[in-house]
Structure 1
Amino acid sequence: MKPPLSSTGQGSSAICRAAGLIAAFCAAVSLLSIMVLMLLDVSGRYLFNSPVPGAAEIIELAMGITVFSALPLVTARNEHIRLDYLSQALHGRVQAFTNAIVGTISTAGMGLLAWRIAEKALTLQRYGDTTPFLRIPISPIAWFITVCAAAAALIFLWHALRFWYQAIAGASHPDQEGHAS
């Protein structure tokens, strides 16, 4: 019997791949932008005594985009850094219960983070906050970060539900790489 939450449909698989590509593209473009801007800023500062105006502001915003656009992708691939001292000793339902509990806690934590960032984004939007030098509006970046954190929370929830199903039903369901969990 297959778990009710398995992603066997081609539609959901295509959506996941498309979302992953979009997240990877956003992260890659913002990281490339940071590298190019830092190169221009440092070169201009030391070679021509003329740094790029507002480079620090742009880099700060791009760092937020880089980190949070990669978050749903890393979460979907289940590639977060983790301490696995116990995971090698745990098997079957015990491991599934442990994974389900960790997934539930991760869902709650990421959901809380998304909620708090959304509140901050709303405040930034209401007050029209901008960066000090270039006057770039901050709220669109905060909303983008909110969406990425919320997406990661939903993905954590998806993983947690799969692990709860495995733990309760005792079914072994293949993970992302096709190995039985």
Structure 2
Amino acid sequence: MERIFKIIERVLAVLAGIALFIMMVLTFVDVIGRYGFNKSIFGSSEMIEVLMVVVIFAGVAFVTASDKHIKVDIFAPIIERHAPNLQRWIVHIFSLVIYAGLTYELGRHMLDSLLSGKRTAVLDFPQWVMPGAAVFFSLIGVLLFAAAILATKGRLEKIDHAASGDTHGPEL
């Protein structure tokens, strides 16, 4: 099961990287076309917006699931001395709740956009596509992050017992 999650994480990272590369090439070609040949790419700004959603939300899903996000440790050393695993669990649960709440709100926005029937100004995309992609990647991220938290539970218990000198492991 962990292998499947690692594959999904890798797919998300590669997808975010590909979308970022396409954004970069599209912007480069658009600028060269606009200033060099007086012809820009039609709808490039809307295409870049869609690609940005993929970069941001696939990237956030990957980073959160693999626990590779930037951390600011202001109070962490103090808390870790007194309750190291409590701090880790609180941070993980808090992050999961916030991420799930964000996904829920994105889902509401997607439904509002879907029911309104509005379309984008230039390329005539349905407006629900961008929040829909955000919901899709965020839902994958929430599920991966929840699975990662559950998978680390046993390892954290072993660390707790090893630190306290208990060599028998957790009691059932």
Q: Structure 2: any 5+ residue segments left out of the alignment?
A: 163-172
Which residue matches 2:20? 31
Question: Which residue of 87, 94, 97 corresponds with 2:86?
Answer: 97
Offset at residue 21 of structure 1 (A): 2.4
For residues 71-95 of structure 1, the C-alpha deviation after alignment (integer angstroms, 9 at most, x for no partner) is 1211122111111233345547712
CA distance in 2, matches of 1:143, 1:13: 27
Name stretches of at least 5 consecutive residues in structure 1 with no aligned partner.
1-11, 173-181
Which of these two proteins has the greater Rg computed from alpha carbons?
A: 2
Equivalent residue for 1:131, pick from 108, 120, 128: 120
The question of 1:147 aligning with 2:136 is answered yes
The one of 7, 11, 15 equivalent to 2:4 is: 15
The letter of the residue matching 1:140 is: V
What residue in structure 2 maps to residue 107 of structure 1? 96
Contact 1:61 1:141 in 2 (8 A): yes
Give the Cα–Cα distance (whole angstroms) in 2 for the partners of residues 128 and 110 of structure 1: 27
Contact 1:104 1:156 in 2 (8 A): no
Which of 155, 163, 170 is 2:160 aligned to? 170
Give the TM-score taking structure 1 as reference length.
0.77
Percent sequence identity is 24
> Normalised by the size of structure 2, how large is the TM-score?
0.81
Paired residues in the alignment total 161
Contact residue 100 and residue 164 of structure 1 kept, 8 A: no
Kept after mapping to 1: 8 A contact 2:65/2:142 = no
Do the aligned partners of residues 22 and 161 (structure 1) sit closer, same or farther apart at CA in structure 2, a change above 3 Å counting?
closer
Matches of 1:84 and 1:48 in 2, distance apart?
A: 50
Return the structure number with greater relative CO, CA threshold 8 A, min gap 6.
1
